[in-house]
Structure 1
Amino acid sequence: MVHSEHGTDGISRRLVLAAGVGLAAVAALPHSSLAQNGAAPTRPTSGDSTMSSGLFATKDGTNLFYKDWGPRDAQPIVFHHGWPLSSDDWDAQLLYFLGQGYRVVAHDRRGHGRSSQTDTGNEMDTYASDAAQLFEHLGLKGAVHIGHSTGGGEVARYVARHGGNGRVAKAVLVSAVPPVMVKSEKNPGGLPIEVFDGFRQALAANRAQFYRDVPEGPFYGFNRPGAKVSQGVIGNWWRQGMIGGAKAQYDCIKAFSETDFTEDLKAIEVPTLVAHGDDDQIVPFADSAPLSVKLLKHGTLKVYKGFPHGMLTTHADVLNPDLLAFIKG
């Protein structure tokens, strides 16, 4: 089922634009200004709510930073962030769904944000295992798991391998990397490995500049004609990226680009929404969302015309109500 929503320099810059603009082959459509209405809570949380954050130690001693806000007896909505960011990237959604009365949970993946800066375990199997241990500790049942970009891959693997016994009610993949990003004989429409080699080279050469170029250009579509650029959003992306560990983020490029989630998608039993902008310059639409929904048993594809990769920030006013409708549906 397909729906459509209408929205109104240096080496690192060249590498990002080559990956996003040259290979995505999507229309240069203007988008709306940064979302505001959908980012605010609709009502204050009730008095029996608790708001906490802290560190959880996994079996291998990695400390995961997490947020756990809202009524403990409410349905949990769990957010999985993209590379190289943190749980802070979900601020607009955390506040919105907290205001709707849900329990909202988000963690910083190992090596990212305020979690341990790991030099091992920076791959999808461990990411999913880390998440499973944390969610077991928090006692989450009947949760809705929402993943953006790399976080969408984490959701697919977590739900497929650890989501049984009533732990997961629904899943959402937003601008997500599955089924697989890199080009191969099995995936001829993917991005060449040289694109991701370029990411690694740019990160190693000047991570601080690379993490400025990505949000200034393709991530939020700020390189499109007529785009309304937000320096605050750019600075927040840079801040989140630079807090994390360079080694873990370097390793994660392989994880998000080369991991094949085909079997994970086939194994998911719960209703799953696949939401993607058709002007995504980071994870090209044609080789991701429509392929993923074909592999899902209970998948729904929702296409957002002209929306960028970072639409959870730029178009929260559109995305948040759509997510709420799916969760309630």
Structure 2
Amino acid sequence: VVARYVAQHGGDRAAKAVLIGAVPPLMLKTADNPDGIPMDVFDDFRRQLSDNRASFFLDVPSGPFFGFNQDHVETVEAMVHNWWRQGMMGSAKAHYDCIAAFSETDFTEDLKALKVPTLIMHGDDDQIVPLDLTARKAADLVEGSVLKIYEGLPHGMCTTHSELINPDLLDFIRA
């Protein structure tokens, strides 16, 4: 969303952009994106969401979102419950449609059009949005961007490791 907005509407309205664990350029496997994730994975997300929304919003943060499915990571139940609370407050239809939006939208041209300083932050243990499929490709498409990879951090790194992320964000904003 940030890439699309700044590329299409932000020209003189945005001084900088930050993409954190972002999906651009494209998550879905297509003829032009053979390394992408197959559609049946996203169809399964939609099925899980439709079958039992409450369980979906517990299972995702309990596992891959925050990296709590890793042996070396201790689950923080408060984070899981807060994620569940946020999910259950949202629209089921919007959540369902969001899966299509984040998986099927091709942001390649938006990334190429970004002309503001752009920081791309991504954890190398992101099980939701694969680093090599997204951030590394995005960095190649955004002229002059800075790619900052966080060793061992999950998709939800802003929550699990805010003490690392926030100072880097502030440094980029202040620079």
User: Normalising to structure 1: TM-score of the pair?
Assistant: 0.53
2:3 is the counterpart of 1:156: yes
1:226 Cα deviation (Å)? 2.1
> Could you say which residue in structure 2 is the equivalent of 1:242?
88
* Offset from partner CA, 1:192-235 (integer Å, 9 cap, x none): 10000000101110000011000000000001012121110000
Question: How big is the alpha-carbon RMSD for the aligned residues of Structure 1 and Structure 2?
Answer: 0.7
Q: 1:229 aligns with which of 75, 88, 97?
A: 75
> Could you say which residue in structure 2 is the equivalent of 1:184?
30
Mapped partners of 1:193, 1:169: distance in 2:
36
1:189 Cα deviation (Å)? 1.2
* Offset from partner CA, 1:249-294 (integer Å, 9 cap, x none): 1011100100000000011100000100000000011101110011
> Could you say which residue in structure 1 is the equivalent of 2:60?
214
> Could you say which residue in structure 2 is the equivalent of 1:286?
132
Mapped partners of 1:183, 1:160: distance in 2:
24
1:297 Cα deviation (Å)? 1.5
2:141 is the counterpart of 1:298: no
2:106 is the counterpart of 1:260: yes
Q: Which amino acid aligns with 1:274?
A: I
In the alignment, structure 1 segments of 5+ residues that lack a partner are 1-153
Q: Which amino acid aligns with 1:311?
A: M
Q: Which amino acid aligns with 2:2?
A: V
Q: 1:325 aligns with which of 149, 160, 171?
A: 171
Number of equivalenced pairs? 175
Mapped partners of 2:161, 2:65: distance in 1:
13
1:248 Cα deviation (Å)? 1.2
In percent, how many aligned pairs have the same letter?
60
Q: 1:169 aligns with which of 6, 10, 15?
A: 15
Q: Equivalent residue of 2:16, what SS? A: strand
Mapped partners of 1:197, 1:326: distance in 2:
37
Mapped partners of 2:94, 2:148: distance in 1:
32
Q: Equivalent residue of 1:185, what SS? A: coil
Displaced runs of 4 or more, over 2 A:
none
> Could you say which residue in structure 2 is the equivalent of 1:315?
161
* Offset from partner CA, 1:53-86 (integer Å, 9 cap, x none): xxxxxxxxxxxxxxxxxxxxxxxxxxxxxxxxxx
User: Normalising to structure 2: TM-score of the pair?
Assistant: 0.98
* Higher RCO by CA contacts (8 Å cutoff, separation 6 or greater): 2
Asked which structure has the greater CA Rg, the reply is: 1
Q: Equivalent residue of 1:286, what SS? A: coil
* More helix per residue: 2
Q: Which amino acid aligns with 1:155?
A: V
2:116 is the counterpart of 1:270: yes
Q: Which amino acid aligns with 1:164?
A: G
Mapped partners of 1:327, 1:256: distance in 2:
26
